[in-house]
């Protein structure tokens, strides 16, 4: 058996040991599910009226180690499903009863249980032979969280106990050390400290507000991307946040995406929806007038804000939100232009990631599978698109992996999978071909023979959503952003009140060069102002006293250095502008 499978069995067994420990300490609890996960295990438990906090984790952990020392065997027993239901009803375990009834509805007649002393759990297994095969120093209970039963926010809120579990103490210690560092880089923590974004319950869960520092960064990246897209021949549009019901019926969203859309709005007897995607309105813009093959490709970009329903339990800072803005674009091209357009999009993508200095990602080519009933469009077109994507990736000599069956129902796609500091992988950029909307909206162009032809449509969101991308960017840099998009590039620290006027004069001169600067004219000591500027991770810090106010020399402290260097104001501005231009 592979090592990874052995580790998964170990972690699954750890979850049972944890549940057995909880049962010994809290006999009246009700158990839900307890699987192994990538870094350990968890168990969802209903503690009823008993309040369990982080302080109780050590107590549960100690009891787990006692169970390990007892060398209790894991024993498997098969049971008829009807008998199992009656037994769980008698034991007052409603979550197990529900799981069993679902299995019975699917035609199951027998189920398996694993016994660990007095603890018995519905489980397919496999497990270790005995509890003492778990090393007592190879796991640690790490946190508590709320989790709705079956992910349904209308159901009971359970307590989820997370544990980290590894094959050795060394691997566990390395993981825990990594988590400490990861928590320092948590984008929610840094976002608060640096004034980047905020989420207010009065405004709504999953609806972040960009604060001045965060919005300054976002505008820099917006301007950067607008300029780059224009250099590649894109024009830009902006479509309404609400659209009529008929548009989403035409696009098919009301048929296949309804569960992710918000409830309709009725205005003057017409029904509207908050748009979950920018695509339908973009198709209408393309259709405004006939297109010739000579006009192709047509490339339209949009920084469009969309709204999608996410369960409250799945919301997470900027990583997963309900309202977000996409760096969207739709490219309409002929079949002959498909490879060149895909190559161009890939070129823009690589340049963007290089300029922001972000390299913790991998490429996933998401393909269709052999079940043609799952997809729309001509199979020949699918094969052409998939082969084109694969060819472009190979020509660019980048590593990628393919996953059959992960394509959208309307076309294959290339996903950029970023890995955050907690080891979680998520898509941030997507390039995909669409064989659905061109047919639904009857999109055409006139070819050189005067005949109507269907264009290929490429959707691409290079930044993806600004919100999710910023979550990764904040954690990747830990707030130490490159100069060119740092929210505050220079911090001026006045030694005393009499130096405020000179600081403000200097700030205006920097601002005239489009350099982002902030003045600290507070009554705090210089030492405290310096410590604050260091915590704010400002690239350049300048202390302004009598010496600086009476000369053209500046004393600059670079981020990450305790040393101060002397430079003229003119040379300092030249240095900064050069680094900003070169994206250094």
Q: Is the pLDDT of residue 136 over 80?
A: yes
Both tokens of 337, joined, read 């232009």
Question: Fold for domain 193-239+278-477?
Answer: BirA Bifunctional Protein; domain 2 (3.30.930)
Residues 6+ apart with CB under 8 A from 482: 356, 357, 583, 584
Both tokens of 398, joined, read 């980048």
Mark whether 3 is an active-site residue: no
Mark whether 499 is an active-site residue: no
Q: Is the pLDDT of residue 480 over 90?
A: yes
Contact 256, 268 (CB under 8 A): no
- State pLDDT tens for residues 359-389: 888 899 888 877 666 677 778 888 888 888 8
Q: Is the pLDDT of residue 254 over 70?
A: yes
Confidence category of residue 2, pLDDT binned at 50, 70, 90: very low
- State pLDDT tens for residues 154-179: 899 999 999 999 999 999 999 999 88
Active-site hit among 16, 330, 468, 491: 330
Active-site hit among 279, 319, 432, 499: 279
H/E element holding 165? strand 157-165
From residue 288, alpha-carbon distances to 83, 284, 285, 435, 444 in Å are: 66, 6, 5, 20, 11
Q: Is the pLDDT of residue 425 over 90?
A: no
Active-site hit among 56, 121, 328, 434: 328
Write down the pLDDT at residue 373. 65
Residue 241: helix, strand or coil by DSSP? Answer: coil
Q: Is the pLDDT of residue 322 over 80?
A: yes
Q: Is the pLDDT of residue 3 over 70?
A: no
pTM of this prediction? 0.82
HEC assignment per residue over 456-474? EEEEEEEEEEHHHHHHHHH
Both tokens of 531, joined, read 């410590």
Active-site hit among 459, 499, 516, 557: 459
Q: Is the pLDDT of residue 313 over 80?
A: no
CATH 3.40.640.10 fits 488-581, yes or no: no
Domain coordinates of the chain in residue numbers?
3-168, 193-239+278-477, 241-275, 488-581
Q: Which of 12, 19, 14 is nearest to 160 (CA)?
A: 19
Q: What average pLDDT does range 555-566 have in this prediction?
A: 92
Mark whether 150 is an active-site residue: no
Q: Is the pLDDT of residue 356 over 70?
A: yes
Using only C-alpha atoms, what is the Rg of the chain? 29
Confidence category of residue 62, pLDDT binned at 50, 70, 90: very high
Q: What is the DSSP letter of 562?
A: S
Active-site hit among 364, 413, 468, 557: 413
- State pLDDT tens for residues 179-216: 888 888 899 999 999 999 999 989 999 999 999 999 99
Mark whether 12 is an active-site residue: no
Confidence category of residue 406, pLDDT binned at 50, 70, 90: confident
Mark whether 223 is an active-site residue: no
Question: Fold for domain 3-168?
Answer: 3.30.980
Mark whether 330 is an active-site residue: yes
Mark whether 459 is an active-site residue: yes
Write down the pLDDT at residue 317. 87
Write down the pLDDT at residue 1. 39
d(CA 161, CA 143): 6
Active-site hit among 120, 275, 308, 322: 308
The neighbour count for residue 375, using CB atoms within 10 Å, is: 18
Side-chain-side CA neighbours of 239 within 13 Å: the count stands at: 26
Write down the pLDDT at residue 371. 67
Q: Is the pLDDT of residue 467 over 90?
A: yes
- Alpha helices per DSSP H over 309-423: 338-356, 379-395
Write down the pLDDT at residue 447. 94
Chain centroid offset of residue 117 CA: 41
Angle between helices 466-477 and 212-231 (to 10 degrees): 110
Confidence category of residue 457, pLDDT binned at 50, 70, 90: very high
Write down the pLDDT at residue 372. 62
Active-site hit among 23, 93, 319, 326: 326
DSSP strands (E only) in 152-285: 157-165, 197-198, 209-210, 235-236, 242-244, 265-267, 270-274
Write down the pLDDT at residue 22. 96
Angle between helices 94-105 and 81-90 (to 10 degrees): 160
Cis amide linkage into residue 131, ω under 30° from 0: no
Residue 484: helix, strand or coil by DSSP? Answer: helix
Average pLDDT, the chain: 91
Residues 6+ apart with CB under 8 A from 197: 191, 208, 209, 210, 211, 214, 318, 470
Write down the pLDDT at residue 553. 87
């Amino acid at each position: 058996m592979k090592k990874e499978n052995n580790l998964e069995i170990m972690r699954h067994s750890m979850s049972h040991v944890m549940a057995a420990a909880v049962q010994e300490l809290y006999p009246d609890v009700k158990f839900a599910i307890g699987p192994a996960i990538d870094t350990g295990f968890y168990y969802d438990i209903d503690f009823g009226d008993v309040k369990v906090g982080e302080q109780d984790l050590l107590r549960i952990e100690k009891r787990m180690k006692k169970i390990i020392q007892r060398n209790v065997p894991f024993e498997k027993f098969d049971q008829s499903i009807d008998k199992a239901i009656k037994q769980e009803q008698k034991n007052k375990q409603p979550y197990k009863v529900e799981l069993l009834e679902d299995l019975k509805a699917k035609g199951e007649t027998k189920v398996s249980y694993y016994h660990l002393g007095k603890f018995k759990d519905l489980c397919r297994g496999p497990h270790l032979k005995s509890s003492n095969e778990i090393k007592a120093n190879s796991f640690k209970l790490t946190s508590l969280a709320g989790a709705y039963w079956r992910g349904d926010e209308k159901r009971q809120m359970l307590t989820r106990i997370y544990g980290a579990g590894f094959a050795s103490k060394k691997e566990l210690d390395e993981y825990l050390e990594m988590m400490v560092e990861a928590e320092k880089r948590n984008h929610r923590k840094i976002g608060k400290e640096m004034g980047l974004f905020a989420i207010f319950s009065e405004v709504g869960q999953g609806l972040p507000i960009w604060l001045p520092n965060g919005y300054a960064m976002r505008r820099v990246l917006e301007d950067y991307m607008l300029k780059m897209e224009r250099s590649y021949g894109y024009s830009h549009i902006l479509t309404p946040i609400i659209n009529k019901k008929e548009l989403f019926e035409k696009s098919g969203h009301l048929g296949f995406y309804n569960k992710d859309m918000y409830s309709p709005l009725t205005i003057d007897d017409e029904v509207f929806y908050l748009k979950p995607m920018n695509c339908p309105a973009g198709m209408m813009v393309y259709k405004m007038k006939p297109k010739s093959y000579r006009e192709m490709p047509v490339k339209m970009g949009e920084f469009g804000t969309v709204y999608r329903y996410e369960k409250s339990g799945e919301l997470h800072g900027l990583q997963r939100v309900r309202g977000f803005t996409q760096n969207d674009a739709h490219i309409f091209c002929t079949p002959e232009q498909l490879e060149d357009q895909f190559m161009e999009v890939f070129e823009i993508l690589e340049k963007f990631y290089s300029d922001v200095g972000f390299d913790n990602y991998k490429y996933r080519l998401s393909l269709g599978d052999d079940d043609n009933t799952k997809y729309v469009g001509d199979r020949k077109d699918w094969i052409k698109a998939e082969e084109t994507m694969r060819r472009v990736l190979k020509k660019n000599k980048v590593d990628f992996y393919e996953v059959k069956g992960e394509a959208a129902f309307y076309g294959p796609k290339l996903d950029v999978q970023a890995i955050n500091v907690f080891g979680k992988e998520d898509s941030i950029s997507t390039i995909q071909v669409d064989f659905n909307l061109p047919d639904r909206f009857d999109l055409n162009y006139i070819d050189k023979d005067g005949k109507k032809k269907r264009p290929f449509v490429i959707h691409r969101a290079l930044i993806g959503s600004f919100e999710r991308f910023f979550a990764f960017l904040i954690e990747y840099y830990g707030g130490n952003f490159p100069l060119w998009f740092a929210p505050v590039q220079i911090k001026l620290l006045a030694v005393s009140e009499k130096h405020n006027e000179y600081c403000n004069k200097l700030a205006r001169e920097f601002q005239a060069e489009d350099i982002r600067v902030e003045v600290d004219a507070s009554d705090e000591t210089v030492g405290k102002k310096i410590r604050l500027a260091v915590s704010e991770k400002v690239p350049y810090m300048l202390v302004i006293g009598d010496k600086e106010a009476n000369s053209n020399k500046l004393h600059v402290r670079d981020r990450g250095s305790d040393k101060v260097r002397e430079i003229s104001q003119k040379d300092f501005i030249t240095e900064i502008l050069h680094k900003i231009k070169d994206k250094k």
